[in-house]
Amino acid sequence: MIVHVSPDVPPIVRPGMMLTEARAHCADLIDLPVDPASDGRSLEALARWLVRFSPSVAIDPPATIFLDATGLERLFGGVANVHARVAAALRRLQISAGVAIAPTPGAAWAIAAFGGAHALAIVEAGEVDAALAPLPPEALRLDLRTASALRALGIASVTALRRLPRASLGARFGPALLQRIDQALGAVPEPLVYLEHRTPVRAIVEFEGVVESLEALHMALAELVRRVAAQLARQGLGARRLQVSIGQPYLPPLEKTIELTRPSRSGGDLLNLLRCTLETVKVNDGFLSVGLAAPTTERLHGEQEALIGGEHERVARESDRLIERLDARMAQDVERVSLVASHAPERAFAGHGHIAANPKARADAGPAHPAAPARPLRLFASPREVRVTVTPSTRRDGWPVAFTDDAGHVHRLSHVRGPERIAGQWWRGRWKTRDYFDAIDEAGGRYWLFRVAESGRWFLHGVFE
């Protein structure tokens, strides 16, 4: 038996539908940016949380989790109790989901996603045909094109679909349709790829009494790093986050977290990071225990230095180690910046706390916009309006030759490059189209100016340093 969990989706909202049309059908619809990577991580996290009910859990993105419930009726006192406990647990997490138990993954998915509130939530082996019969063809997990074609032919249920000759279905829609029908009915097996079980990576050293020596603390850290690195090596993983817990005699444990820019199980690198993090730790009453855990890990494949070249990779590793040490020593002062999909330059980036918290934002920042023009590293929080003198032009689109800043200083421009036109965000209602100029004055200062095409007003947006 399979337990399937899938978020409820209003049937009036379909893939490919325009947002305005969806809002016309559902006025309280909430739309959020698509982030498949974050959705996948959240789905896997929920699946691993559901391991408390079944040791065999599989995910099917974007919104499906399968639990193998074979034999669980003896543990929970019946299949109905399994269903009730899983559904109740999801409700406590405030997750809206459909839960169904059926002999096959396809039947469980169909009933949970399309069965509705009045459908049987638990289907026995001999009830699959009857349970699937009134459901729409989309319940067989068909692609959008095939489902639309069946709807156009007037086939509105699985019963109507199965009445058609099997040979004609295969010739008209391909073998995938027949495979989905057979998988739902159990005629063809559908193996699931279950999540790998992860053994927690952690180690602890407990002292026989209160220890006040920092040398003893460092020796304990070295032993903990050796144990954790060995566990990571056995599982083929690298640590992306380390957590240190120092037990104190009369106070709660002192917790420290270290973020890594890339997965690592190098004992020397991990020990150096721990020492940098604990440089400012002061425990006046001594230590009772020291624990080290790696709650976040990633698959780490063997790396081999190139015999010729490989300089870029070595420089990248050294840069990452420097960033990790800075973050360990100045955790509150180091901030990372990631790119945001926005044409407006002041909204094209965002700060997210520690620079090592999301290293992929750093790694992807370069290739994401390989052909982007130069941008100043320093942008003003809000563009400053300036007075600009331009070359004579009958269309108000001359090039700037000088500008006066807000302090009254006149900057005569010796070199100007542009314009670079950036379309504004019309829904914000102001500062529509901008023409940017990269300008250098006679003193060598380099500035980023733009003119609003609709109003002709000039603004100073940034300074190159």
* Whole-number pLDDT of residue 120: 63
Given a cut of 70, whether residue 210 has pLDDT beyond it is: yes
* Whole-number pLDDT of residue 305: 43
End-to-end CA distance of the chain: 65
* Whole-number pLDDT of residue 28: 82
In SS3 terms, 162-180 reads as HHCCHHHHHHHHCHHHHHH
Residue 447: closest CA among 433, 434, 456, 460: 460
Lowest mean pLDDT among 51-55, 57-61, 329-333: 329-333
Residue 273: closest CA among 256, 258, 292: 258
Local confidence band at 372 (pLDDT 50, 70, 90 cut-offs): very low
* Whole-number pLDDT of residue 325: 64
* Whole-number pLDDT of residue 393: 64
Q: What is the mean pLDDT of residues 243-265?
A: 87
* Whole-number pLDDT of residue 61: 87
Given a cut of 90, whether residue 342 has pLDDT beyond it is: no
Residue 253: closest CA among 281, 216, 272: 281
Given a cut of 80, whether residue 282 has pLDDT beyond it is: no
Given a cut of 50, whether residue 382 has pLDDT beyond it is: yes
* Whole-number pLDDT of residue 328: 62
* The two three-digit tokens of residue 288, written as one number: 């009772």
* Whole-number pLDDT of residue 362: 40
Local confidence band at 431 (pLDDT 50, 70, 90 cut-offs): low
Close Cβ partners of 282 (under 8 Å, ≥ 6 residues apart): none
Given a cut of 60, whether residue 54 has pLDDT beyond it is: yes
Given a cut of 70, whether residue 334 has pLDDT beyond it is: no
Given a cut of 50, whether residue 263 has pLDDT beyond it is: yes
Given a cut of 80, whether residue 460 has pLDDT beyond it is: yes
* Whole-number pLDDT of residue 331: 57
Lowest mean pLDDT among 102-111, 113-122, 180-189: 113-122
* Whole-number pLDDT of residue 358: 44
* Whole-number pLDDT of residue 301: 62
Backbone angles phi, psi at 440, to 5 degrees: -120, 130
Provide the mean pLDDT of the chain.
81
41 CB-side CA count, 13 A: 6
Local confidence band at 402 (pLDDT 50, 70, 90 cut-offs): very high
Percent pLDDT > 70 in the chain is: 80
Q: What is the mean pLDDT of residues 220-230?
A: 92
Other CB atoms within 10 Å distance of the CB of residue 304 = 7
Whether the link from the prior residue into 419 is cis, omega within 30° of 0, is: yes
Residue 424, SS3 per DSSP: coil
* Whole-number pLDDT of residue 427: 65
Element (H or E) spanning 76, and its range? Answer: helix 72-76
- The larger pLDDT score, comparing residue 148 to residue 371, is at 148
Angle separating helix axes 311-329 and 267-277, nearest 10 degrees: 30
Residue 295: closest CA among 259, 269, 253: 259
How far is it, in rounded angstroms, from Cα 114 to Cα 154? 18
- The larger pLDDT score, comparing residue 377 to residue 271, is at 271
Report the predicted TM-score, pTM, of the whole model to 2 decimal places: 0.52
Whether the link from the prior residue into 62 is cis, omega within 30° of 0, is: yes
Task: Dihedral sign for Cα 399, 405, 411, 417, please.
Answer: negative
Long-range contacts of 6-9 (CB under 8 A, 24+ apart): 6/63, 6/64, 6/65, 6/97, 6/98, 6/109, 6/112, 6/113, 7/63, 7/95, 7/96, 7/97, 7/98, 8/96, 8/97, 8/98, 9/63, 9/113
* Whole-number pLDDT of residue 364: 40
Residue 228: closest CA among 262, 205, 208, 255: 205
Backbone angles phi, psi at 204, to 5 degrees: -145, 145
* Whole-number pLDDT of residue 447: 93
Residue 339, SS3 per DSSP: strand
How far is it, in rounded angstroms, from Cα 206 to Cα 197? 28
User: Which amino acid, 258?
Assistant: I
* Whole-number pLDDT of residue 315: 59
Other CB atoms within 10 Å distance of the CB of residue 149 = 16
